Structure 1
C-alpha cells in the first residue's frame, strides 16, 4: 500500500484505508503468514488495531474522532460511491455556533472538545445527525463492549504486539535532516512541481488553497508553497532564498512530527491502561551497527514466543499512571482570563501555567495593575507592595480550576 492512490484524489479517507488494509491482512492470514504493518501515520494504524469505526447509515461509515473528510465509501457490492460531505458543510459555520449546536444535542462531547477544534466538533455533530444518537453515547457503547477499553472498542486481531523503534533525539534529528536531503536528491522538488502543475495552480487561480484536507496535510506541501507560487518574474536570488526556507521548514516540521509520534505512543499505550492495550516493546535503534543485536534479534524472539503462546523473555513497556494520587482529568475545562484562552485537560492546564506566553501576560498584567494602583495614590506616596499584591491575586486566580462548561 505504497504509491497506490493518485494525489489528485482528495476524498480518500481512513475508512477507505481500513477497508483496503484489512482485506490484505486477511489474505496474508489465509496463507498462514504474519502481516507486519510498518509506518507511519499513527491515526491510520489505530483503525487497524481497534474496532473504532462507528456505523451511521447502512451504506456509510464515519470514524469516531476522524479529522478527515468522509466522502468516498465502499458499499456491500464493493463499488465506490460518493456521499454528501456533511462534515465539510458544517466546518463552514462559525466555531462558536458549531460548538453551541453540539452542546444542545451532545453536551458531554461538547464539554470534551475545544470550541476552536472545528473538525472534531463537526464530526461529532455529523455523527449525531446521521445516527440520531449522541456521539458520546456511541463511544461509551464501544468501551463497554466485551474486550473494549479506554481506547474504544475491542482489538481487531488477537495478540498484536507493537515494536516501538526509538533513538537518541540528537541522533534521530541528524538522520531526519539527512533524510530530507536525500528526498531532495531523489526528486522531491520535481514531484511537487508536477503536482502543482496538475492541480495546485488551478486552485491558486481560484483563490481556494486548502491545506486542511487531503494530501495537503502531508508534510512537504505547505513548506514549499511560496517557492512553488512565486511566479516567473521573481529574482533568482529570491527564488533561491524561498527554496532554502522551504527546506529548513521541512526539516523542522519533520523533526517536530517525530516528537508528536513518540508522544502519541506514550499517551495512547503507556498512560491509558486497559484490557485492549497491545503490548509495546521498545527497541533501541540509536546505533545502526548494533541493529541485529538490539533490534532484529529481540523482535524475532518476541514474535516467536507470541506465536507459540509463550511469554517473551523481553518484557513489554509497563503502563504508568499519568499522575500519582488524584486521577488526571483529560477533559476538564480551564479558563485563563489573563491570556484569554480555554485550556482542556489538567496536564495541558499545568503546562499552560508554566509556559512563556502565560508568564509574559502575567508580568504584563502585573505591571498594568501596579501602574493603575500607583495612579490612584497620592503622587508623593510610593506604591509599595503593589507588585506583591497583584502577583498574589494573579497567582490565586490561576492556581484554581475554572470550569466554564459542563463535563
Structure 2
C-alpha cells in the first residue's frame, strides 16, 4: 500500500523527516489509478534494488508489511509455485486468475464445484488437501496438473525431496532456501499494549488528515463513474484499511439523507471500524509470522535467524531494539556467532519456545482436510482440527446436541407413556364391554 503516490496517511508511509537521509525505495511510486503490481513485478524490482544496494557496498533492509510479497523476496522460488496463503487483504491486492491458462483450459473458469470435482478426479490427494471452498488453491492445483501433466501432489513431493537434498548439502542460502545471508527482526509487543497502540495510531491518522485522503479517493470514484469508467474496488489501494470502512460516511454525506448529528454518529462508527480492521490485520500479520514464515525458516533450517525484539516498553527502545539489532547485524556481517534468539527477552523466550514446541508436535505434512460432521465445518490440518474440537464453538454445539437428545428422549418417553395409557384404556373399555355383553 505504501507504494501508492499521494496517500501518505492512509497507507502509513514513513514521513520524509523521519528517514534520516536514508534512501527508501518502492514508496510513493504508483498512482492510485494504476493497476496493482503483480507479486512477480514486485519481486523482480525489489531484487534489482537489492543487487544495486549490495553493489554500492550498502546493506539493504527489507521492511514488511505485506508478508505475502516480502516472503517471495526472502525465499528462493520453488520449481512450481505453490501459493503461500495470503490474508484476505493481501489476496485482494494481486490478480488470482491467469487469463492464458483459462483460455487453454476452460474448466479453470467453471463453477467452483466443477473445478473441485475435476481436481478430485485427477489428483484426489491434493483435493483432500484443500478446503472445498478454497477455489483459488483448488484452481492452482488443477492448473499445475494441466501445465506439467503430473498431479500437483506428485510435483510438490518431488520438490520436497529436492529441498531435503539441498538442505543436507547446503548452508541454507541457496537452492530453495533463503536468497541471502539474512537476519529477520520481529518487532513485537504484548497483545494488550499492541492493541492500545493500534487504536491510538488510527486516532493520530484521523488528526493528520485520514478523512481528507479517503474523501479524495471517494471523489475520484465518483468522477470515474460519471465518465462511465468502472474502477475495480476489490484490488489495489481500494481495499486499503481506512478507505472502505469510511465509504458509508462519504456516501451519506453525498446523498444528504442524514442530519448533522446522525452524520457525526456514523463518522465515529466508521472510525471505529477502521480501528477494528487495523487490529484484525495486525493479528493476521502475526499469524503469518508464526505459521508461514516460521515454517519456511524451519524447512531451510534457519529458525535461528528470526529474532523477536520486545517493543512493549518504548522507553527502553535503545536497550531492547536498537542495541540488539545493531549487534546482531554486525555479527552477521562479520560471520561471528549469533546468540540464541530466545535469550533476547522474556517475550522472545516464551513466544519462540512455543513455536519450537509446535514445530515438534504438529505434523505439517499431514494436511488432509478433516470434516466435523457435527458442526459441518472442514479443517485443513490436524492443528486446526485439534483447535476445533477443543474450542468453545464445538463444545457449544455438543452441549446443544446433548440437550436436544435429552429433550427427544423425554418426549419419546412421554409419548410411550401416552401410548401405554391409551392401550390400558382400550383394554379397560374392551373388558367393560365384555362384562356388559355377558349380563
Q: Which residue in the other structure is 1:335 paired with?
A: 371
1:161 corresponds in structure 2 to: 183
Question: Counterparts in 2 of 1:207-356, with a 5 A limit?
Answer: 212-230=234-252, 231-235=254-258, 236-270=260-294, 273-277=298-302, 279-313=305-339, 315=341, 320-322=356-358, 327=363, 330-356=366-392
Deviation at 1:134, TM superposition (A): 3.7
Q: C-alpha deviations, 1:241-264, integer Å up to 9, x for none?
A: 222111111111211222222222
SS in 1 for 2:300: coil
Which of 72, 75, 78 is equivalent to 1:47? Answer: 72
Name which of 181, 185, 196 aligns with 2:203. 181
**Aligned pairs, number:** 364
Greater CA drift, 346-355 or 63-72: 63-72
Aligned match of 1:357 = 393
CA 271–112 in structure 1, closer or farther in 2 if over 3 Å, else same:
same
Within the alignment, does 1:64 sit opposite 2:99 as a pair? no
Bigger CA drift: 14-23 or 89-98? 89-98
Change (3 A) 1:201 1:84: farther
How much has 1:330 moved relative to structure 2? 5.0
| Corresponding residue of 2:112 | 95
Q: Distance in 1 between matches of 2:327 and 2:286?
A: 24
Q: CA deviation at 1:304?
A: 0.8
Cα distance in 2 for partners of 1:176, 1:130 equals: 44
TM superposition shift of 1:206:
8.9
Q: Max radius of gyration: which structure?
A: 2
The alpha-carbon deviation at position 380 of structure 1 amounts to 7.8
**Correspondent of 1:2 among 27, 32, 49:** 27
Q: 1:329 to 1:194 in 2, by over 3 A?
A: same
Shift of 1:35: 0.5
In structure 2, relative to structure 1, the CA distance for the partners of 1:324 and 1:28 (3 Å cut) is closer
Change (3 A) 1:338 1:200: farther
- What TM-score does the superposition give when structure 1 sets the normalisation length? 0.77
Q: Could you tell me whether the CA contact under 8 Å between 2:178 and 2:300 is conserved in 1?
A: no
State the shift of 1:310 in Å. 0.9
Q: CA deviation at 1:54?
A: 5.5
Give TM-score scaled by structure 2 length.
0.72
Asked if the contact 1:113/1:121 (under 8 Å) is kept, the reply is: yes
2:412 maps to which of 370, 376, 396: 376
1:204-259 CA distance string (max 9 Å, x none): 99998866433344322332232233342221333222221111111112112222
Give the distance between the partners of 1:103 and 1:176, measured in 2 at CA: 43
Higher mean displacement: 304-313 or 222-231 = 222-231
State the 1:48 CA deviation.
Answer: 0.4
Give the superposition deviation at 1:286: 1.4
Shift of 1:291: 1.2
> Is the CA contact (8 Å cut-off) linking 2:68 and 2:84 kept in structure 1?
no
- 5+ residue gaps, structure 1, are 56-61, 73-82, 383-407
Q: Which has the higher strand share?
A: 1
Give the alignment of 1:134-173 within 5 angstroms: 134-143=151-160, 144-145=162-163, 147=166, 154-173=176-195
Q: SS in structure 2 opposite 1:282?
A: strand
1:16 CA displacement: 1.2
What displacement does 1:163 show? 0.6
8 Å contact from structure 1 (residues 330, 344) kept in 2: no
Q: Which residue matches 1:13? A: 38
Cα distance, 1:130 vs. partner? 4.3
| Alpha-carbon distance in structure 2 between the residues aligned to 1:200 and 1:253 | 24
Contact 1:333 1:344 in 2 (8 A): yes
Q: Could you give the per-residue CA deviations for residues 157-198 of structure 1, whole angstroms, max 9, x where no partner exists?
A: 232110111112222112111111121122222222222222
- Cα deviation for residue 307 of structure 1 reads 0.7
Structure with the higher fraction of residues in helix conformation: 2
Residue ranges of structure 2 left out of the alignment (5+ in a row): 1-25, 86-90, 343-351, 419-439
Task: Note closer, same or farther for the CA distance 1:190–1:137 as it changes in structure 2 (3 Å cut).
Answer: farther
1:141–1:327 CA distance, 2 compared to 1 (3 A): closer
> Is the CA contact 1:285–1:291 (under 8 Å) kept in the aligned structure 2?
yes
Per-residue deviation, 1:47: 0.4
